[in-house]
Amino acid sequence: MCVLSGAVTNHVENQVFTYEAGQCCIMNKNIHHCEEFTGDFQAVFLMMQDDFIAQLLAEYQETDINNSTRLKENLIFQLLADTLNGLHQFDKVYLDCFPVIPAEHILEKFTPLFNFIIQELVNLRPGSLFFIKGAFSHLLQLMADPGLFCINRIHSELSSQEYLFSKITHIMRTSHGRCTREELSSQLHYNAEYLNRIMKKYTGKTILEYGRNIYLEEARMLLADTDKSISSIIEELGFSNRSHFYRLFENRYNETPMDYRRRIRYTS
């Protein structure tokens, strides 16, 4: 499933989640799920048969024969391969794909592929299957690109709290730590205080503290590894108050952002 606009409420096993525009989900055939067809949204649902998956994987392996290690590390490839593997025939696994760039940039790449696949299916002609497989391969390649998506592998036999914790952490990372308890509550359909208790249980930090660690660490890396101005870094991380960012950074690292950048570059 890929959401093109609006938001889709998805019941996955015994959980309920909301997927926003640009977010994708890849499920194996053992996952019980049901989408709520309410509200104003557009989404694409693609279903693949085993023989089609086998053909995709065979061609993928053939073209990437010298990159077996990379294939094993590809979560999408592994999910598809496990679908055909008898040892994993009862596993309940799915992948959540969260954009790490603005959703509109993701959809600029995806929409032409979806339109092409639909057109070929409607006008089925000799050779259409080859074109469809090519489009599918390109689509899966884009979804596996870490520059476009952060992928979270979910095994639904995890406990309810572990399951929610994995969701919370990935939402926090993809939002650069700038997601409030209330926003998490709205997306995950759980009480904000309950989500905060889960975060505290697994990390020893509140959601606010966990988010602060994420964006301050990102700020530190951007100061050390890029030539971006401090103003652009502050803007990129979603701060509207420069002095507030400076105060948080100094409290964490005991020096100003500029002093940190100078020290790191001088010592390296």
* pLDDT tens, position by position, 209-264: 999 999 999 999 999 889 999 999 998 888 888 899 999 999 999 999 999 998 88
Residues 131 and 197 in one domain: no
Residue ending a domain, choose from 122, 157, 192: 157
| Whether 16 and 146 share a structural domain | yes
Task: Answer with the one of 157, 178, 193 that is the final residue of a domain.
Answer: 157
> If pLDDT is split at 50, 70 and 90, which confidence band does 88 have?
confident
Q: Assign 215 to helix, strand or coil.
A: helix
Domain check: are 125 and 148 in the same one?
yes
Sheet containing 33-36, strands listed edge to edge, beginning at the edge strand earlier in sequence: 15-20, 7-12, 33-36
Judge if 181 and 240 occupy the same domain. Answer: yes
Q: Is residue 211 located within the same domain as residue 106?
A: no
Q: Is residue 162 in a domain?
A: no
The domain that holds 177 is classified in CATH as 1.10.10.60
Tens of pLDDT, residue by residue over 187-214, are 888 899 999 999 999 999 999 999 999 9
CA distance 36 to 17: 11
Is 0.85 topped by the overall pTM? Answer: no
Tokens of 112: 């032409």
- Mean pLDDT across 34-52: 89
Task: Share the mean pLDDT of the chain.
Answer: 87
77 and 189 in a single domain? The answer is: no
- Domain range holding 209? 167-268
pLDDT of residue 31: 85
Residues in CB range of 57: below 8 A, 6 or more apart: 77, 80, 81, 84
Q: Identify whether residues 120 and 231 lie together within a single domain.
A: no
Q: Which of 123, 157, 191 is the last residue of a domain?
A: 157
Number of structural domains (the chain) is: 2
